Amino acid sequence: MGPGGPGSGWPLAGTLLVAVAASMVAGGEDCLWYVDRNGSWHPGFDCDYFTFCCGTCHQRYCCQDPLRLLTERQQRHCLAF
């Protein structure tokens, strides 16, 4: 069987590749200040090593899931709207 067949390491390798790529992209990607749904202002904060800013425009937290990554560009977009 070729790549991706049963028992191959391709799904794990793909997951690791996504995590490494996200961590490289997320270098310096900390949570910027934001305003929650109640209108309360929250100051920006730094995430620990190997964690990213995650969440939504109105609620932010640090996590290790690259699929929940909220980039600084996306955060700035939240501020514009």
Angle in degrees, CA 54, 56, 59, rounded to 5:
85
Q: Rounded to the nearest 5°, which phi and psi values hold at 23?
A: -70, -35
Residue 74 covered by a domain: yes
CB 63 within 8 A of CB 51: yes
Residue 18 covered by a domain: no
Residue 10 covered by a domain: no
For the question of whether the overall pTM of this predicted structure is more than 0.75, the answer is: no
Residue 63 covered by a domain: yes
CB 76 within 8 A of CB 60: no
Residue 14 covered by a domain: no
The token pair at 55 is 């969440």
Distance CA 49, CA 52 (A): 8
Nearest by Cα to 36 from 78, 67, 68:
78
Structural domain that includes position 34: 29-79
Residue 11 covered by a domain: no
- The per-residue pLDDT for range 7-50, each reduced to its tens digit, is 555 665 555 445 555 444 445 569 999 999 999 999 999 999 88
Residue 1 covered by a domain: no
Query: For the chain, how many structural domains are there in total?
Result: 1
